[in-house]
Amino acid sequence: MDSLIQAVAWAIRTTTPSNAPYCPAQMAFGQDMLLRRKVIIDWQLLKEQRQKQAIANNIKENKNRRPHLYKIGDWVLIVEKQYERAKKAKLSSPTEGPYKILKVYTNGNVRIMRGQYEEDISIRRLRPYTKR
Q: Which domain holds residue 23?
A: 2-62
Percent of the chain with pLDDT over 90: 23
Q: Looking at the DSSP assignment, which residues form a beta bridge with residue 24?
A: none
| Closest residue by Cα to residue 3 from 24, 31, 11, 16 | 11
Residue 67: inside a domain: no
Residue 50, pLDDT above cutoff 90? no
Cα 41 from chain centre: 27
* pLDDT, the chain, mean: 84
Residue 91: inside a domain: yes
Residue 14: inside a domain: yes
Same domain, 86 and 47: no
H or E element, residue 53: helix 43-62
Instruction: Give the integer Cα–Cα distance in Å for 8 and 13.
Output: 9
Same domain, 50 and 98: no
| Closest residue by Cα to residue 25 from 3, 5, 37, 54 | 37
Residue 34, pLDDT above cutoff 80? no
Same domain, 7 and 55: yes
More confident: 43 or 97: 43
Give 83-118 pLDDT, tens digit per residue. 776 777 777 778 887 999 999 998 889 999 888 889
